[in-house]
Amino acid sequence: MTLEHAILGFLYYIPLTGYDLKKAFDASVQHFWPADQSQIYRTLARLTEQGWVEVQVVQQENRPPRHVYSLTQAGREELRRWLTTELPPEEIRVPWLVQVFFSGQLSDEEILATFERVANQLRARLERAHRIPEDSTAYIEAIGSPRESFFWMLTLDYRIKVMEAELAWIEETIQRLQHKEQPPAEKQRS
């Protein structure tokens, strides 16, 4: 997925400012596609250049003008094209697993600390993910489409199940390390 297409998707529903887009990301898709404010603004500029988005400058009293972005017909067509396109298989990169791969050099305490850190990060992400339905209520109500809401929640359900499975594996591994379970190669050398 690209940030461009995520932005087109949000603008399909309603015109938004860059600031409002960031809030929409944080309240809905950040569990699988986070974006920072500067990425959003750079991408909006590219989308405007491509003719997929247009911007309206709205003057405000005693405040800087608001730049409100909306989807053009070409943007709608691009979003639809992308939604029906087969995507290449994703490459999975998990940096902390690279650490685990080479952790035979570390003490049990050091590697346990790595697993505990990752487990705590996952627990925090799961906690945030469980709050997403509540945080996205305003967007769901604004769109007013139970069908759209259903598909939004499917992505959340998927992400929660993946994180829960990952956390279960990490917790099981912590137990194995705490019980000094040795890898097969080490048992043979003992």
The total number of structural domains in the chain stands at: 2
Mean pLDDT over residues 63-90, rounded?
Answer: 94
Residue type, 131: R
User: Which pLDDT belongs to residue 135?
Assistant: 73
Residue after which a domain boundary falls, among 49, 83, 117: 83
Q: Look at residues 40, 28, 23, 33 and name the one whose alpha carbon lies nearest to residue 1.
A: 33
Q: What is the CATH number of the domain that holds 43?
A: 1.10.10.10
Angle (CA) 164-170-171 rounded to 5° is: 90
- Confidence band for 182, pLDDT divided at 50, 70 and 90: low
Q: Look at residues 30, 24, 78, 31 and name the one whose alpha carbon lies nearest to residue 50.
A: 78
What is the residue range of 44's domain?
A: 3-83
- Confidence band for 89, pLDDT divided at 50, 70 and 90: confident
Mean pLDDT over residues 1-26, rounded?
Answer: 91
Claim to verify: residue 61 and residue 127 sit in the same structural domain: no
Residue after which a domain boundary falls, among 83, 107, 125: 83
Q: Is 76 within a domain?
A: yes
Write out pLDDT tens, residues 128-164: 889 888 877 777 777 788 888 888 889 889 999 999 9
Claim to verify: residue 43 and residue 74 sit in the same structural domain: yes
Write out pLDDT tens, residues 95-126: 888 988 898 888 888 999 999 999 999 999 99
Q: Is 153 within a domain?
A: yes
